[in-house]
Amino acid sequence: MRTLCLTRALVDKIPGSIPDPGPVAEIAEYQTDEVQAETLHAVLQTRPDHDAFWIFAFGSLMWNPITTFEEQRRAHVKGWHRAFCLGPDTRYRGNPSCPGLMLSLDHGGACEGVAFRLDETGLPEHLKDLITREPPIPPVWVEAETAEGPIYALAFVCIPDGMGYVGDLSPEETARQIAPAVGMFGSMADYVLNTATHLEEMGIHDKTVWRMQSLVAAELEKLP
């Protein structure tokens, strides 16, 4: 396992969390019960495989799945790659003064992650919890390769020119923005550290995440 530049001591320079900064006005209309119910209905109606329901995890869902699952597999998805392109987050891991930028899947390349198979019993409720937690962007179905064969999995992505897409910052600019960011769920630095650590433990070396942990570490080292 490679040695991370970003350490717990550096992360702890940022508060663990802050009081809820309040709803994000720009996305409030997309987080209503009605819209989330429509998203849930669309997901269930368009599922390509009625024998198994898979979720593709590439970020925090890998180390905090939030719902129970029946099986997990290492999965490889083509046509999407990890990017800190979702934001600005001014509530969950950022605030109005220091907005965060979350990981999402951006078009192009490939991504290695984990596929979780959900239990069909209570599936709508499990999905409802997931849709409520994830950004209010309609998820898409992706084909993933696993050691046991190809599967279709639901993935939460961020499409260029779509809602919440931030794709014009350099890695250095992104690091300067997210290093001091903290919200009600914790800091961006903690998010980057957890993601990088989990990927390395799984034997997945993602160049975007690895470079970001190094850049965020350099930013935090400047703090007293």
Cβ–Cβ < 8 Å for 219, 21:
no
pLDDT at 65: 79
* Structural domain includes residue 117: yes
Q: 3-state secondary structure string, 154-212? A: EECCCCCCCCCECCCCCHHHHHHHHCCCEECCEEHHHHHHHHHHHHHHCCCCCHHHHHH
Cβ–Cβ < 8 Å for 169, 177:
yes
* Structural domain includes residue 17: no
Range of the domain at 139: 25-221
Segments of the chain with pLDDT less than 70: 1
Q: 3-state secondary structure string, 29-59? A: HHCCHHHHHHHHHHHHHHCCCCCCEEEEECC
* C-alpha–C-alpha distance, residues 175 and 181, integer Å: 10
Dihedral sign for Cα atoms in the order 155, 157, 159, 163: positive
Predicted confidence (pLDDT) per residue in 127-153, tens digit = 999 999 898 999 999 999 999 999 999
Predicted confidence (pLDDT) per residue in 98-111, tens digit = 999 999 999 999 99
> Could you identify the residue written with the tokens 């992360």?
11
Q: How far, in Å, are 61, 64, 201, 214 from residue 4 at the CA level?
A: 21, 21, 12, 7
* Structural domain includes residue 9: no
* C-alpha–C-alpha distance, residues 10 and 220, integer Å: 6
pLDDT at 88: 94
pLDDT at 81: 97
* Structural domain includes residue 18: no
* Structural domain includes residue 13: no
pLDDT at 173: 98
| The pair of three-digit structure tokens given for residue 74, joined into one six-digit string | 């290492």
Domain tally for the chain? 1
- DSSP class per residue in 104-156: EEEEEEEEEEEEEEEPSTTHHHHHHHHHHHS-SS--EEEEEEETTEEEEEEE-
> What CATH code is carried by the domain that includes residue 155?
3.10.490.10
pLDDT at 93: 97
pLDDT at 139: 95
* Structural domain includes residue 20: no
* Structural domain includes residue 159: yes
* Structural domain includes residue 2: no
